[in-house]
Structure 1
């Protein structure tokens, strides 16, 4: 076992959640060496062609990661791993934090073809294809932003990719809508945390109205301009938002989740041209966090 490879304990938890049917009546061979190759590139950020020979053919690792990113397999694996963790009582639903981080885009990540990527053996549109490919201009050049919701145990529940100039507030609802933890015993998946924490960027009437409708208690500080506008309106401005300072202290948990996620260099800097493939890269980093002891 090389540095960064799956341990036997981690592989035992991951293997039951991997797909076994390749399609057209075939079956995958053992995934372990291929996934170790994907993890090696994830951790180091090297080009696919530079993968060590002990990890097999680089083309096999690249194609499988690209295929599983485009058809949503990585997302399904993440939910399966989360379902196992929830069955063991390892998910802290008491408070969930939302935040975002900006990733610099490498020059090789630009120039993707305009047509959607093709999934080998399938004639469908990729699950996360974006016409803008998640690329945006900012003062630092090309950037991509990762929005995520993290649970109290400092692991991501959901991730979302947008262009770098996208605001945080409008993305809160799409991120929360992506939280779906299945229940192995059956029933509706878990989608609603007990409490939500966010910074001032998420303070808006639309977001608070959404949280009240879903009966999610929240701790989001009110911006100064919003407070002044509410006070100018008098009684028509409504009551001030509740703010629990003790719960707001725990907002550092989602920031620490981002730090743990960006330990993977391929997630900290975007090298993938396609947004769906980079979404898969970030999802693989999230899966690795869920598999750690």
Structure 2
């Protein structure tokens, strides 16, 4: 990497950068309040302000998107997962979108995820926990790259969604509910069994306690944490 490129990025001239990033990862891993960050990472307020600035500028989301290189788009799997919102995430009122809604579990957020055939995350969105998978799916599918097959569970049983997927040039593999009059004669159950790949991603994301339970008030800050965790999954690739 050239010196000119380094100076353009303005990153390597900051000696505390690694310390700051490690502090963000530590907080994401253990789910502690920012104020409780160990002193080894520097002043907690400095770490939080850097994270908040990167979140506002969508830099962490940009890192995740930049790491998505040559995804295997033979299959795409989509699903949603509920995250319990801690009381610290829904305290002071603010005008910005929080993506926290009321559901059976109380205050919750939902992560809508899409992964490729290798089980690597390629796109996600965050909504309130009360938002049904099928309601968010059209927006999610519209932003996905073209895949040969799009696989989802019964929660995505919707003819308009199937039509949208077909119009993109993909084949929908979505089982119909038991009360359907059409039935599942055309279902590829063998391919459907690989839907566990998207469940595996949720399991890996929730190793990070600040994602398994949401503590951030702002939607964009929680999205940045999810993006950082997805980037972490991509790093070995």
After TM superposition, the score normalised by the length of structure 1 is 0.73
Match of 1:274 among 208, 212, 218: 218
Give the unaligned 5+ runs of structure 2. Answer: none
1:1-293 paired onto structure 2 within 5 Å: 20-21=9-10, 29-30=14-15, 31-83=17-69, 86=70, 91-116=71-96, 130=97, 133-179=98-144, 191-225=145-179, 227-228=180-181, 230=182, 242-292=186-236
SS in 2 for 1:209: helix
Q: CA deviation at 1:28?
A: 6.2
Shift of 1:21: 4.6
> Following TM superposition, by how much is the alpha carbon of 1:205 offset from its aligned partner in structure 2, in angstroms?
1.2
CA contact (8 A) 2:78 2:114 kept: yes
CA RMSD of aligned residues (A): 2.3
Q: Do 2:63 and 2:228's aligned partners in 1 also have CA atoms closer than 8 Å? A: no
Pick closer, same or farther for the CA change 1:28–1:217 going to 2, 3 Å.
farther
Q: Work out the CA distance in 2 between the residues paired with 1:56 and 1:288.
A: 23
Q: Secondary structure of the residue that 2:52 maps to in structure 1?
A: helix
Number of residue-to-residue matches in the alignment = 232
Give distance in 1, aligned partners of 2:141 and 2:10: 31
SS at match of 1:218: strand
CA deviations over 1:13-35 (Å, ceiling 9, x no partner):
xxx99x8259xxxx861432211
User: Take 1:138 and 1:166, find their aligned partners in 2: how far apart are those partners?
Assistant: 9
- Give TM-score scaled by structure 2 length: 0.89
CA distance in 2, matches of 1:95, 1:241: 20
In structure 2, the CA distance between the partners of 1:96 and 1:112, relative to structure 1 (3 Å rule), is farther
1:32 and 1:194 map into 2 onto residues whose CA distance is 40
Structure 1 position 241, deviation (Å):
7.3
Measured after TM superposition, the shift of residue 199 of structure 1 is 0.3
